[in-house]
Amino acid sequence: MNLQQLVRKNVWNMKPYSSARDEFKGEASVFLDANENPLNDKYNRYPDPLQWSLKQKIAKVKNIASENIFLGNGSDEPIDLVIRIFCEPRIDNIVAVDPTYGMYQVCAEVNDIEYRKVLLNENFDLDAQKLLEKTDRNTKLIFLCSPNNPTGNLLSREEIKKVLDSFAGIVVVDEAYIDFASEATWLNDLEKYPNLIILQTFSKAWGLAAVRLGMAFASAEIIKLFNKVKYPYNVNILTQNFVGDELDKLELRKQWIATLLEGRNYLINELPKLPFVEKIYPTDANFILVKVEDANSLYKQLADKGVIVRNRNSVSLCAGCLRITVGTDKENEMLIKTLRTL
Ligand SMILES: *Cc1c(COP(=O)(O)O)cnc(C)c1O
């Protein structure tokens, strides 16, 4: 892989914004370099643009070097940045599986990049050859989501491997739900695949969706490109400090995941007993895709009773399907109880 050939020329050649925080990084007693108001102590100073202290903590938890980490305003930020770094508007294209997470296509369209969809097979699994056939010399990115949203399944490791081995561009593997999965993350394969970018997030297993922190893991060279194009202070100090403290609660998070997996089992046991439930798809995430007799009508009936699920009826391969997030024990029981009355 030749990184320079893959990156947009303007991005490769540009000089990044240099902030006051970039120019002077040491200890000092008088800071008159950033036009800040000195009077509101604690929040008056610009935060660390590269979030080194938080990255060191994440590096320990993920067993990876800080230089291989990018932090963004949710995963949505690295999804957008990776497109802006690699794809030339109206010339390059992106290939992704279908159905999958909707933000890849939205970000592609905002950036005026052609987005090519390749249907998953009937088991919602990836066919590497079919995917690669859709690529051409202008395909810069492939998006894979595993466990996939909205289907819930892990994509086959072997097929992902084939894509990584054969594709000359960048492969993004979105692991937003990896903490709920029965297979390991791709993080350990980063060194082996210089064209791999892995996305993870604090929005799901960490229970911090409101805080907005997403992670991208990649080679140090690719991370440098992310840092070049991002907003200088893309992660605010409240988020940096708060998530830093949350990272100490590893034991609690493990318990949460165990609880949610029990809740998932409860739903997997109870849902098929309902007469209008036709199929429960296998899941490695904290949600279940369920095929029912009439998804639109069931969605409305549930909503009328105050229970909101996600109607995926109009999504490719998901006709008749609702996507149900695993809630608290009480919420799961409410859902089942409500369904029994319908
Ligand atoms: C929820 C989700 C995310 C998380 O996005 P954030 O911006 O980090 O909240 C990323 N990818 C997928 C596939 C998701 O379902």
Give the DSSP letter string of 163-210: HHHH-SSEEEEE-TTGGG-SS--SGGGTTT-TTEEEEEESSSTT--GG
Residue 330, Cβ neighbours under 10 Å: how many? 8
Mean pLDDT of 222-235: 98
Q: Please tell me the predicted confidence (pLDDT) of residue 157.
A: 98
Interior angle at CA 149, CA 144 and CA 154, nearest 5 = 60
- Give the pLDDT band of residue 279 (cuts 50, 70, 90): very high
- The CA-to-CA distance between both ends of the chain, in Å, stands at 56
Confidence check: pLDDT of 108 > 90: yes
Per-residue pLDDT for 111 more than 90?
Answer: yes
- Provide the pLDDT for residue 21: 84
With a cut of 90, say whether residue 26 has pLDDT above it.
no
Instruction: Give the Cα separation of 226 and 99 in Å (integer).
Output: 27
Look at residue 272 and give its three-state secondary structure. helix
d(Cα 166, Cα 299) in Å, to the nearest integer? 42
CA distances from 296 to 269, 290, 301, 302, 333 (A): 23, 13, 9, 10, 22
CA dist 88 → 6, 15, 75, 134, 137 (Å): 10, 18, 21, 18, 13
pLDDT at 294: 98
List pLDDT tens digits, range 156-186: 999 999 999 999 999 999 999 999 999 999 9
Q: How far is the CA of 74 from the centre of ligand 1 (A)?
A: 7
Residue of 134, 143, 148 whose CA lies nearest to 197: 143
Q: Which atom of ligand 1 is nearest the CA belonging to 101?
A: 13
Distance CA 240, CA 246 (A): 10
Please give the pLDDT value at position 22.
86
Do 36 and 21 meet the contact criterion of CB atoms below 8 Å apart? no
Pick the residue whose CA is nearest to atom 12 on ligand 1.
176
Contact assessment for residue 200 and residue 215, using Cβ atoms and an 8 Å cutoff: yes
Q: What does the mean pLDDT of the chain come to?
A: 97
pLDDT in tens, 112-157: 999 999 999 999 999 999 999 999 999 999 999 999 999 999 999 9
pTM (two decimals): 0.97
Please give the distance, rounded to the nearest whole angstrom, from the Cα atom of residue 101 to the centre of ligand 1: 8
Percent share of the chain, pLDDT over 90: 96
Supply 23's token pair.
């120019």
Spacing, Cα 31 to ligand 1 middle (Å): 38
Consecutive H or E run containing 277: strand 277-280
Cis, peptide link before residue 49, omega less than 30° from 0: no
pLDDT at res. 25: 83
Q: What is the pLDDT of residue 309?
A: 98
Confidence of residue 33 (pLDDT cuts 50, 70, 90): very high
Nearest Cα residue to 51 out of 248, 242, 251: 242
- Over residues 287-323, the pLDDT tens digits come to 999 999 999 999 999 999 999 999 999 999 999 999 9
For the segment 232-254, the average pLDDT, to the nearest whole number, is 97
pLDDT for the residue numbered 318: 98
**pLDDT interval class at 8 (50, 70, 90):** very high
Q: What average pLDDT score do residues 195-224 get?
A: 98
- Contact residues for 265 (Cβ-Cβ < 8 A; gap 6+): none
Residue ID of nearest Cα to ligand 1 atom 11? 176
Residue of minimum CA distance from atom 2 in ligand 1 = 176
- Ligand 1 pocket test, pick from 70, 82, 101, 104 with the greatest ligand atom count within 8 Å of Cβ, gives 101
pLDDT at 1: 85
